[in-house]
A and B are shown apart, each in its own frame.
Chain A
Amino acid sequence: MSAATGFDPAEWEVVIGLEVHAELATRTKLFSAAPNRFGEEPNTHIDALTLGLPGSLPVLNRHAVELAIRVGLALNCTVQRSVFARKNYFYPDQSKNYQISQYELPINRDGWLELPSGKVVGIERAHLEEDTGKTTHVGGGGRIHEAEYSLVDYNRAGVPLLEIVGRPDLRSAEEARAYVSELRAILVAVGASDGKMEEGSLRVDCNVSVRRRGEDALGTRCEIKNINSLRSLGRAIEYEAARQVDLITSGERVEQQTRHWNEEDGRTHTLRSKEESDDYRYFPDPDLVVLDPSEEWIEQVRADLPMLPAARRHRLAERSGVELERTALIVERGLDELCLAAIDAGADPARTLTHAEHNLADERATGLDPAAFAELVTMEVDGKLTATQAKTVLAEMVEKGGAPAEIAAAHGFEAMDTSQLEAMVDELIAAHPDEWQRFCDGDAKITGFFVGQVMKATKGKADGKVVTGLLHQRKG
């Protein structure tokens, strides 16, 4: 088919639900003492259970359960009595030819998370399961049936995963990306996972369907696999939604399928249709007992949870008076505590947050002294430093530390007298009549020329906004 084209979002609604697999940051595997570590020599982090040797038995990793509970509580889930089941299918990277997962009774169910926009997205369940190994099919286009031979690395087999199944509450690629970012922030905040999509410790499968706006029933969905970054997630959703709209508008039907995202051609391709789906013959794993964490344990885990990103955003918005959405980046950078402390120390809230958003991308910024930061903001607000000077001073504070007043003095920063500036502007106008004419004719781009000249002459001490104001005054 032709490359999918765009569609009218006023007419069509995209419905997205994500299944996210997060590798839990435990020392050992979910059911054995083999180490849980990323990227080393193949088949070095293995033991009898990892290889599915006859006679080996699984013993549940308590730390993995605790991390699962932490995430569940952070996602506002009900933590419940759960049962491990066997998901049976043959594949060389599955050493027992079944995967231990949770099926009918997951450890966490019915939760939600809040996006930075304030939108709430439902979580159906978040259950524990073991990861598989990795197979490399050599020759024959990398497919198992055509390969000359296949290599298997079992280092990843048995690594604990939490599969977090979101409800189909997302309505755009942008929302889907925000959801994954938020989920990742929560996983990292509670210490459950490092959340690295590129290394595969966070993996996203995406269910997409489309429907005409106003329709209640959901369209037929397709599941997209092989999404390895937030950018791919957005692209895959946009492509897939457009493909489905194309099918429907050309009178065809969307078939329920599992599709593979190809990063290079920017398309999704059929992996298998619903009819070809495996019968996994789930049944409760008789080697394991019911997992029933006590109320005390759950409450202890709850009490030990750190403040989560959504709560931090709300706190910052309330205390600074800015709108909720502006707090997202600051919380993501972990600068909210610093901002709150600076505000407490008397800094102007809006100006404080502006610096945190625009001038504190350096990850050392979290180490800033809040009192010094507050002092800098106040100097700027009081007109003792221009915005540009404040930025320079701040950068140096982040890099080397120190008091803002001293740094400003060392740079020779002091607020320029307006009469000095006026004289300078008048000289410039006289010296550059052509440029001045263009400015007077409304060529906004030439403003930068005059401001730049002033800055050059004052070594950056002038306030650009004041210069612009003077130019407009002169123009009349």
Chain B
Amino acid sequence: MSAGTAAAIAGAVRAGERRAVDVLEEHLARIEAREPEIHAFNLVTTDAARAAAAAVDEQVARGEDPGPLAGVPVALKDNLCTRGIPTTCSSRMLEGWAPPYDATVVERLAAAGAVVVGKTNLDEFAMGSSTEHSAFGPTRNPHDTSRVPGGSSGGSAAAVAAGFSPIALGSDTGGSIRQPAALCGVVGVKPTYGRVSRLGLIAFGSSLDQVGPLAADVADAALACEVIGGHDPGDSTSLPEPFPDLRAHLDDGVEGMRVGIVAELTGDGISPDVAAQVRAAAEALAAAGASVEEISVPAVTYGLSAYYLVAPAEASSNLARYDGVRYGLRVEAPNSVEMMEATRTEGFGDEVKRRIMLGTYALSAGYYDAFYGKALKVRTLIRRDFEAAYSKVDVLISPTSPTTAFRFGERSADPMAMYLSDVCTIVANLAGHPAMSVPYGTDAEGLPVGVQVMAPALGEVPMFRVAAALERSLA
């Protein structure tokens, strides 16, 4: 366990061996040094962080336990509501808006002793795979600043990769935690739909959105999941089951486990370097005692089409509230109707408008059955395909992203090329299953590759066992 991990920091702070304020200053120094180049943050909350860290130290001094994340700096994707702190979704529409409440996950982090250091950049309203669609400028990949960090949680992934905070939270609607985690060489987890509260997460595609952590290693990701997960009565889609003790199982190994390699995600469209790392990961698992076989999950191939109907349809409705009437941007006009039109015209970027239009069309009278209705049926088929696969194997592995980090501008002019970045990740969202990305080696240019581990609903324990085994195999 390196001294920089969240677990090490919390352990030392709880034991009174390190002060939270010192931990914070080390991280603030790193932020000051490299943030101008990376632009991971929309806002660094220096003062609030210093106050929070001091409060943690006072708790320790009083003999109280601040919790399992005592003094751990944490970065929050800027679509998670923070009380009194601007929450923008990287959109002009919400520039300067400060929510009157904390998201449930933010409350839970604070209750565990974490120290929020800032709000991270994202593709506007979490729509994108490169963080290039932020209204406040792109985030750069710490491994190669000429390349994107992935998206939409690119700021959170870059923050962890650059050592700005050992843990960051992101949100994942079609791969928005896992893909940037892969491109930045960190661990990223999308838990089972309903396992982490969405209350206070600004919605994109409500039936797909899930909050999860990005972390430098698997153990920290597990720790963060345990802190933020579990039932929340404020979210009607929250599952009643308590979040399992993941860290108790990280060393269980994979002896006797059945691992499937998703056949549809090995060839076409997957870069050879990435495919080679997935094979290497499979071999490592086999060497650790798992049985490994290639297995067909046909649903993977039509997931993309279903996703680009369901997510925009829900987004078109979720984003309707941004009209200038109550909060956020208002562009003045002669009457309310024109004011709403002008506000939305000016407040949203092109990618957001494109998805609102796609979604509006998919829900329109006469098209519902052909588009949104059919996409819902495809989701059912996807779940069925996965059920069949999971009757034969315990977990599935695949690439997280078809390629390693790409250069700025490489895909931003071609929406379809950008959408294909999500081809490996979106099926887990459509099925509601847990999935995570684990760094596994590099490509020929030295850029990080991520391997995705997927499991059936509520299968976080076997998923983390496999992820931990992969991490160990690299040590």
| B-binding residues in A (CB < 8 A) | 48, 51-60, 86, 88, 90, 92, 95-98, 137, 140, 144-147, 150, 152, 279, 281-283, 286-289
Asked if A150 and B336 make an inter-chain contact with CB atoms under 8 angstroms apart, the answer reads yes
Known A51-B326, A90-B320, A150-B336; judge A59-B206 contact (CB<8 A). no
Q: Which residue of chain A lies nearest to B235 when distances are taken between CB atoms in the complex? A: A57
B313 adjacent to A55 (CB under 8 Å): no
* Interface residue from A57, A59, A98, A288 paired with B317 (Cβ < 8 Å): A98
11 further A-B contacts with Cβ under 8 Å, apart from A279-B364, A281-B363, A281-B368, are A54-B87, A55-B103, A59-B234, A88-B317, A88-B363, A90-B320, A92-B325, A92-B340, A281-B365, A286-B206, A287-B206
Point out the residue from A48, A97, A286 that lies within 8 Å of B323, measured CB to CB: A97
The B contact surface, by secondary structure, is loop
Q: Is the CB of A146 within 8 A of B335?
A: yes
Which of A54, A57, A140 makes the CB contact (< 8 A) with B234? A57
Q: Is the CB of B100 within 8 A of A147?
A: no
Residues of the B chain whose Cβ atoms lie less than 8 Å from the Cβ of A152:
325
Q: How far apart sit A51 and B372, CA to CA, in the bound complex (Å)?
A: 28
Whether A60 pairs with B317 at a CB distance below 8 angstroms is no
Q: Are A144 and B321 in contact, CB atoms less than 8 angstroms apart?
A: no
Interface residues of B (CB under 8 A from A): 80-81, 87, 89, 94, 97, 99-101, 103, 198-203, 205-207, 233-237, 313-314, 316-317, 320-321, 323, 325-327, 335-337, 340, 360, 363-365, 368, 372
Q: Are B100 and A90 in contact (CB under 8 A)?
A: no
A53 — which chain B residues lie within 8 A by C-beta?
99-100, 326-327
- Distance (Å) between the CB of A436 and the closest chain B CB? 78
CA distance A146 to B335 in the complex (A): 7
Cα distance A48–B83 when bound, in Å?
12
A52 touching B321 by the CB < 8 A rule?
Answer: yes
Q: Are B317 and A55 in contact (CB under 8 A)?
A: no
Q: Does B206 contact A90, Cβ atoms closer than 8 Å? A: no
Roughly how many angstroms separate A288 CA and B236 CA in the complex, as a whole number?
6
Contact across chains for B335 and A286 when beta carbons are under 8 A apart = no
Flag if B335 contacts A281 (CB, 8 Å): no
In the complex, what distance in Å separates the CA atom of A96 from the CA atom of B200? 15
Docked Cα-Cα span, A437 to B246, in Å, equals 111
Interface secondary structure of A, over-half rule: loop
| Beta-carbon contact of B234 and A95 below 8 Å | no
State the CA gap A51–B317 with chains docked (Å). Answer: 15
**Would B326 and A287 count as touching, CB distance under 8 A?**
no
Which one, B81, B316, B326, B360, contacts A55 given CB within 8 A? B81
Question: Which residues does chain B contribute within 8 Å of A51, judged by CB atoms?
Answer: 326-327
B450 to chain A, nearest CB (A): 28
Contact A96 to B100, CB < 8 A, known contacts A51-B326, A58-B236, A289-B236? no
B99 near A97 with CB under 8 A, answer: no
- Shortest Cβ distance from B208 into A: residue: A286
**Please, how many angstroms separate the alpha-carbon atoms of A58 and B238 in the complex?**
12
User: Are A60 and B236 touching (Cβ within 8 A)?
Assistant: yes
Residue of A with least CB distance to B310: A286
Specify which of B80, B198, B317, B323 is in contact with A281 (CB 8 Å cutoff). Answer: B317
Q: Which residues of B contact A88 (CB under 8 A)?
A: 316-317, 320, 363
B233: chain A residues at CB < 8 Å are 59
Known pairs A88-B317, A144-B337, A286-B206; A54 contacts B325 (CB<8 A): no
A122 to B101, CA, bound (A): 47
Interface pair B326/A95, CB less than 8 Å apart: yes
27 A–B contacts, CB within 8 A, in A order: A48-B101, A51-B327, A54-B97, A55-B87, A55-B103, A55-B200, A55-B201, A57-B236, A59-B236, A86-B317, A88-B317, A88-B320, A90-B340, A92-B325, A95-B326, A96-B320, A137-B336, A144-B337, A146-B335, A147-B336, A150-B336, A281-B363, A281-B368, A282-B363, A282-B368, A283-B368, A283-B372
A54 to B93, CA, bound (A): 11
Give B354 Cβ to nearest chain A Cβ, in Å.
17
Contact B364 A55 (CB under 8 A): no
Q: Verify B237–A287 contact, CB threshold 8 A.
A: yes
Q: Chain A residues with Cβ under 8 A from B237's Cβ?
A: 286-289
Judging by beta carbons under 8 Å apart, are A279 and B207 in contact? no
Is the CB–CB distance between A145 and B317 below 8 Å? no
List the B residue with the shortest CB-CB distance to A287: B206
- A283 near B317: Cβ-Cβ < 8 Å: yes
Complexed CA–CA distance, A92 and B343 (Å):
13
